[in-house]
Amino acid sequence: MEQKQSQYVMGVLAAGLSYLIWGFLPLYWKAVGTVPAGEVLAHRIIWSLVFMIFLLLLLGKWKVVAAEIKAICRHKKQAAGVIIASVLISINWLIYIFAVESNHVVEASLGYYINPLFNVFLATFFLKERLNKAEWLSVAIAAAGVLWLTVYYGSFPWAALTLAATFGVYGLIKKKIPVGAWTGLTLETFIMASFALIFLFFFNSGAVPLAEEQLSTVLLLMGAGVVTAVPLLLFAAGTKRISFTLVGFLQYIAPTIMLLLGLFVFHEPFDASQLFAFSLIWVALIIFSWSRSRDMLARRTGEGKLDARKKLQA
């Protein structure tokens, strides 16, 4: 019992820490704001791969990961899924970095608030999961919030919705093709690393060479691999030890921190119309979380009664 409790605590700490790191990442990307988003993305991919190879060698996980990669390559559908996932997460990273560098952290936070509800939409159509009335209501309220922002801005909030859509579809693919966290990140960065190198050497002519950058900028670009890999590995370790419902609650830590950074650190504009739209989405998330928690509790209660009946019959 004590071991199970300690595993649970470790799971909460690992998952919570991953969301804290993701929440404060805008500060990191702001620090390299003099470097264009495309170049930052290329370095993020390359140094993530370097860091993962270093960790695999250091921890002796290389053989296990290599065997899993070979198994994926034997199945065309799995290999295609991993390639698509690699492209999607790269697009997500690029939009996120661009949003931070162009002073749209608040809009980026909106994307990650929407993401859980977008996941519900995907699960309904691709995983055939059913929604109850409260969950459909939450989706409708969130859609109203996005529509309000669209009318208010006079343009589609493409950055927020692209972040939600790319991360949502990425998660769906990862669910359909179960790949370990170590293997997944290593393979995804390996697939995109060649494109990142080609971009840096052939399509980034206006950039300052890395050797000529300030030492602080060079270190930040190299460190992008660490700040990418560490929260993903923590998240994978945490979600194995805690319930999906708790993960659902913890995931709001990151966009909340991002929103607060956008408002109080980067001083981005946030008027009454934006507050109204965000309020709609917060209400939608509260309804959705309440509905999922209630259903989870009902299932556990039902399972508990069933186990009790079985014991009595035995």
pLDDT of residue 205: 63
For the CA atoms of 156, 161, 165, 168, the dihedral, rounded to the nearest 10 degrees, stands at -160
pLDDT of residue 307: 56
Three-state secondary structure string covering the chain = CHHHHHHHHHHHHHHHHHHHHHHHHHHHHHHCCCCCHHHHHHHHHHHHHHHHHHHHHHHCCHHHHHHHHHHHHHCHHHHHHHHHHHHHHHHHHHHHHHHHHCCCHHHHHHHHHHHHHHHHHHHHHHCCCCCCHHHHHHHHHHHHHHHHHHHHHCCCCHHHHHHHHHHHHHHHHHHHCCCCHHHHHHHHHHHHHHHHHHHHHHCCCCCCCHHHCCHHHHHHHHHHHHHHHHHHHHHHHHHCCCCHHHHHHHCCHHHHHHHHHHHHHCCCCCCHHHHHHHHHHHHHHHHHHHHHHHHHHHHHHHHHHHHHHHHHHC
pLDDT of residue 95: 96
- For 95, the token pair is 């939009």
pLDDT of residue 299: 67
At residue 114's C-alpha, the angle toward residues 121 and 163, to 5°, is 95
pLDDT of residue 212: 65
pLDDT of residue 302: 63
- For 309, the token pair is 């009946």
Question: Domain boundaries in the chain?
Answer: 36-308
pLDDT of residue 310: 58
For the stretch 85-114, pLDDT in tens is 999 999 999 999 999 999 999 999 999 988
- pTM higher than the cut 0.95: no
Q: How far apart are the first and last CA of the chain?
A: 24
Rounded Cα–Cα distance for residues 179 and 66 (Å): 12
Give the Å distances, CA to CA, from 307 to 294, 296, 312, 313: 20, 16, 9, 10
- For 79, the token pair is 């290999």
Beta carbons of 7 and 241 less than 8 angstroms apart = yes
Residue ranges of the chain with per-residue pLDDT less than 50: none
